[in-house]
Chain A
Amino acid sequence: MQILLNVLHGASLFALIALSFRIPFLVTGFFNIAHATVILFGAYIAYISGVVLDLHWALVLTLIVPISGGIYNVVLYRFFFERPAETASAPWQLLVLSIGVYVLGQNVAAIVWGDNILIGDAWQASSTLSYSNHLISTKQIALTLICLGILFMAWLMLQHTQLGKKIELASENSYLAELLGIETRKVLYVSVCFGGVLANLAGALIFLDIGISPTSSFPFLLNGVVSMILGGLGNVRYLFLGAFTLSTAQNLVAYCFSSSWMTPVTFATLVLFLIARPLGFSGKKIRKTAV
């Protein structure tokens, strides 16, 4: 039961990060490693709002974190990536640029807050439920439900709104989208903003779960990226399947061996998929996995 809950908890968080990464990625076309700073920013905003300023967590999670995340990601993109994205001759150049931005952001956070792990005190004294000789943390259940709720709302927005359709069209073919009257520049900024909102929320949930330090967002981003690759770039539901697969592999290795092998198994899973099924679960072809 605990393992199942751990798998679900991990899968929901990875799926949230993967979705936050995927939306701007499809429109901008490059892997933005600086997205890890957005997750980090969300965690520190949650710390400042919920712990330092002692605001109500409902206010923090529904207003402060999402709004700040959207603004931060838009500013980050506009300042560092807007002009280079128009002139870059290869996506890897933008990825290298994003690595520089990530290194800058992470180390600024290290100077400001130090390398220690900051923990959300209010959520630490959580109760436990007893079920069939298992003790289950209510905090874990609550965070998983919040994560799933956010994912569901994001999925509704992407699948059943005009905005979601525009994002999908712009990501498929920006020139055609322009011809159809879609303002692709506006769609790009909306998708960047939306990605920032989701990433910031993910960061806040990570903070509430295990705390945050300047170096802890990068592994979570990689888990999200691997989940996205496993799921493929087709329908969003495959993304959750990819996240679930990854979380299952990690938790099985942690249960059978040790949790220190979770990161290596992440990439072993990715390698296996790239050999056996390079287009992911969805099977949607993209340039990056076919030469």
Chain B
Amino acid sequence: MEYFFHLATQICLLTILAQSLSLLAGFCGQVSLAHASFYAIGAYCAAILATSTDASFAIIVFSALALSAALGALLAVISIRTVDDYYIIITIGFQFLIYGLTNNWISLTNGPNGITGIPTLVVASLNIETRSEWALLCFSVMMTVWLLLYNLSHSPLGQKLRLIGQDEVWAQAIGINVFRYKVVCHAVSACFASLAGILYAHYSGYIDPRSFGIGESILILSAVILGQMRDLRQIFLAATALTLFPELLRFIGIPDQVAASLRQILYGIFLIIYVRLHINKNIRVRA
């Protein structure tokens, strides 16, 4: 049962990450490969504050979200002149920058050795220790994020983001401040990703840079694409499939060294098949 609660936690975390990216990629039309970097920022912020200071959970969350929002806005400002492929290259660059910082800034992040001994979470005087408690917490956070994003997508802000995603020039022409909304979208998306990072850091008790590389960003983007970019329910199903399907490899008896590569091959094949099947449908969702 512990194993299933662990999988449930992984599914919830990936869903939070993918749904937050869908705000950027699905609504605003900004396909980003930097999402794992905000995941990393949340995780490292939580880990550093939890292990080095006596900061409360509220302060940890506030600090991580504020830092992620600021860096998300910065990414938006830097990439504002770019579209399509150039924008994606900028986000890949940002991803590598954050990875480089977490890997090389040894005095702060402990470099490739990572940060150990991250204490467990205390929420409203409750110690979240067992796998079942973590699964319940992550599920609650996932549903909250889901509800927030659903309301956001059906709000006037969501409509404006959709318009920007469809045609930026036209949106600008009808009076929508495209720059401002893009910055807001990047900041909000980064905040949600950071939240997932905070949960992950406290759940695992140990983090290192390898957990937040470009592969993770590709996985998150895969979940968004397979979830048809904007459909939050489909994204949840895609995150579930991407988490559970490779776990089947464990039961087939494939060696661990090969299993990791096979898992990546499966992600690659999913992406190829899905994009090829849906490419002339614009991979944009029904409203």
Contact = CB atoms under 8 A, between A and B. Distances in A.
Contacts of B159: none
Interface stretch (B44-52, B139-147, B194-202, B270-278): B270-278
A88 B90 contact: no
A287 B103 CA distance: 35
Contacts of A91: 84-85
B104 A104 contact: no
Interface residues of A, number: 52
Contact of A84 (B79, B265, B276): B276
The A contact surface, by secondary structure, is helix
B268 interface: yes
Interface stretch (A144-152, A179-187, A191-199, A265-273): A265-273
A62 interface: no
Which among A83, A99, A111, A289 has the highest number of chain B CB atoms within 10 Å? A99
Contacts, number: 147
Contact of B268 (A107, A258, A287): A107
A229 B100 CA distance: 21
Contacts of B169: 291
A90 B84 contact: yes
Contacts of A270: 89-90, 93
Given A97-B272, A222-B92, A264 B100 contact: yes
B168 interface: yes
A41 B270 CA distance: 23
A258 B169 CA distance: 44
A222 B89 CA distance: 8
B100 A260 contact: yes
Interface in B223-276: 225, 257-258, 261-262, 264-265, 267-272, 275-276
Interface of A: 30-31, 80, 83-84, 87-97, 99-104, 106-108, 110-111, 114-115, 218, 222, 225-226, 229, 258, 260-261, 263-264, 266-268, 270-271, 274-275, 278, 287-291
6 contacts: A93-B279, A103-B271, A106-B264, A107-B261, A288-B84, A288-B85
